[in-house]
């Protein structure tokens, strides 16, 4: 979504400023170059990391790992609560119908095995049916 927004934004800027659909004419314009950060700006570090500059790559990786760790720490408690809430909603909705009573309760491991065997038996390329 970020990439699409960037490309669409460039096209809108190109249409409004130069009356052309070329995104590259906007990127080379003097107005854009005046707004772009200087060559020593930290905003260019991701581009430098992609080009193989070791210091920029280390800084970008360290920042990315720190953001990932912070996100995990911040959302992990509520994530478990949301998973438990979602898991408790599904069985209660299934109990309302009459067809749900025909199923026996089984462990998740047993249900998974049964599902896999059912899928294998349905497989037209299965060696059992040849």
Q: What is the pLDDT of residues 78-104, one digit of tens each?
A: 877 777 777 766 544 445 555 555 666
Tally of structural domains, the chain:
2
Supply the pLDDT for residue 113. Answer: 81
Would 118 be classed as within a structural domain?
A: no
What does the pLDDT look like over 33-53, one tens digit per residue?
787 788 888 888 998 899 999
26, 60: one domain = no
63, 27: one domain = no
Would 117 be classed as within a structural domain?
A: no
26, 46: one domain = no
Would 64 be classed as within a structural domain?
A: yes
Instruction: Report pTM.
Output: 0.45
Would 110 be classed as within a structural domain?
A: no
Would 124 be classed as within a structural domain?
A: no
51, 90: one domain = yes
Question: Whole domain around residue 65: which residue ranges?
Answer: 40-95
Would 89 be classed as within a structural domain?
A: yes
Supply the pLDDT for residue 94. Answer: 46
Q: Which residues of 71-96 are buried (b: 16+ CB within 10 A; e: fewer)?
A: eeeeeeeeeeeeeeeeeeeeeeeeee
**Nearest CA among 51, 48, 30 for reference residue 40:** 48
Would 121 be classed as within a structural domain?
A: no
């Amino acid at each position: 979504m970020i990439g699409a927004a960037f490309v669409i934004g460039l096209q809108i800027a190109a249409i409004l400023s130069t009356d052309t659909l070329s995104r590259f004419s906007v990127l080379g314009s003097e107005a854009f170059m005046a707004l772009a950060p200087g060559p020593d700006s930290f905003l260019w570090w991701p581009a430098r990391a992609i080009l193989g500059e070791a210091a920029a790559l280390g800084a970008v990786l360290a920042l990315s790992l720190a953001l990932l760790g912070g996100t995990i720490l911040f959302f992990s408690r509520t994530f478990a609560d949301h998973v438990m809430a979602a898991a408790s909603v599904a069985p209660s909705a299934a109990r309302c119908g009459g067809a749900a009573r025909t199923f026996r309760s089984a462990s998740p491991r047993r249900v998974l095995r049964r599902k896999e065997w059912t899928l294998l038996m349905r497989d037209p390329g299965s060696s059992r049916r040849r």
